[in-house]
Chain A
């Protein structure tokens, strides 16, 4: 690297060397300095002083179903990111995936804690009872791609499809959520920015070098698109999203796949 990373107030970040940028943002050092800005001083992913808002029975049931399905998605991402470390092509991506694995573990923990705050005594049993079958099928398919060592397909499934949908669903849900859930979700969204960016950039570089990869990934996309959309419908993951909000949620994902050159 020609540049040395440093905190000079005078430096124009955008004039830095691209190699420095890529290695720096994928480092544990960067991750640590980034997350301490928004995770310090929290109690299970939210400021401790946020009061519990009263919820009606229907509102609580809908929230519990959504959170249970978020837990399925986060478990898939946790196991997926951890498994991807083994097949990642270089040191930088392995290190980044180690930070993503930590993020996903945190997400699962704070969502389980939120379920307990809502009076769910056995979160594991509740998740099993409320999980959308399509989301479970997506998880199985993702972990199968990881187990088979298919780096591009697994990365596409996890960091483009799953993470894009989570990013959009959590942002949308946070807009109308009770204050505690809002705080928890918005901090998960901050982590998700890194995950979607990593997936799109890593896959984009691969597709640029090997355009025929699009053809190979096309059936993966078709199969997993269908599962994610079905999961959205089955699991209440949209938490009562209106048709306009649903359109907005899928738009972010569709823009990402369009930028990657998929029809």
Chain B
């Protein structure tokens, strides 16, 4: 994968990242080949896996084939937004929009 170090810049995590096999969960708003990278948000009780992050712009869940760490670049194709994973005030990893 291109630029693993580049994508994890600023990470405070240690150890090897967990890898995930992504499956198509029926998110039909992006071309078929990209569907496995997204799923619908099921509401307040929906728990995000370590390879998932919430899109603050269009409120869907973005999935990665590896554990997401602060500094990672993430793309939301549903709303065409480039995001960066950051550590939020409560310690959880959240996505911030990158307007560049």
Residues of A within 8 A of B (CB): 3, 7, 9, 12-16, 18, 21-22, 25-26, 30, 33-34, 37-38, 190, 193-194, 196-198, 200-201, 204-205, 207-208, 252, 255-256, 259
Question: Which 8 pairs show the lowest CB-CB distances between chains A and B?
Answer: A197-B79, A204-B99, A33-B31, A37-B28, A7-B33, A25-B80, A193-B58, A197-B80
A255 touches B29 (CB 8 A): no
A37 touches B99 (CB 8 A): no
Interface SS, B side: loop
For the complex, what is the distance from the CA of A30 to the CA of B33, rounded to whole Å? 11
Given known contacts A14-B73, A207-B99, A208-B99, is B31 in contact with A198 (CB within 8 Å)? no
Cβ contact of B57, chosen from A3, A21, A196, A205, cutoff 8 A: A196
A194 touches B31 (CB 8 A): no
B54 within 8 A of A: no
B29 touches A200 (CB 8 A): no
CB B95 to nearest CB in A, in angstroms, measures 11
Query: Which residues from A are CB-within-8-Å of B29?
Result: 34, 37-38, 190, 193
Cβ contact of B73, chosen from A18, A37, A252, cutoff 8 A: A18
B97 touches A200 (CB 8 A): yes
CB A247 to nearest CB in B, in angstroms, measures 15
CB A109 to nearest CB in B, in angstroms, measures 20
Of residues A3, A15, A38, A256, which shows the largest number of chain B Cβ atoms within 10 Å of its Cβ? Answer: A15
**CB-contacts of B40-67 with A (<8 A):** 56-60, 64-66
Query: Which residues from A are CB-within-8-Å of B66?
Result: 12
For the complex, what is the distance from the CA of A224 to the CA of B59, rounded to whole Å? 24
CB B93 to nearest CB in A, in angstroms, measures 14
Given known contacts A37-B29, A204-B99, A208-B99, is B76 in contact with A12 (CB within 8 Å)? no
Closest B residue, CB atoms, query A256: B57
A14 touches B80 (CB 8 A): no
For the complex, what is the distance from the CA of A13 to the CA of B27, rounded to whole Å? 15
Query: Which residues from B are CB-within-8-Å of A14?
Result: 7, 37, 64, 72-75
Query: Which residues from A are CB-within-8-Å of B82?
Result: 18, 21-22, 201
For the complex, what is the distance from the CA of A104 to the CA of B64, rounded to whole Å? 32
Query: Which residues from A are CB-within-8-Å of B31?
Result: 30, 33-34, 37
For the complex, what is the distance from the CA of A25 to the CA of B29, rounded to whole Å? 12
A201 touches B76 (CB 8 A): no
B80 touches A13 (CB 8 A): no
CB A229 to nearest CB in B, in angstroms, measures 21
Query: Which residues from A are CB-within-8-Å of B75?
Result: 13-14, 16, 21
B56 touches A13 (CB 8 A): no
For the complex, what is the distance from the CA of A190 to the CA of B59, rounded to whole Å? 11
Query: Which residues from B are CB-within-8-Å of A15?
Result: 1-4, 7
B100 touches A208 (CB 8 A): yes
Query: Which residues from A are CB-within-8-Å of B58?
Result: 193, 196-197
A201 touches B37 (CB 8 A): no
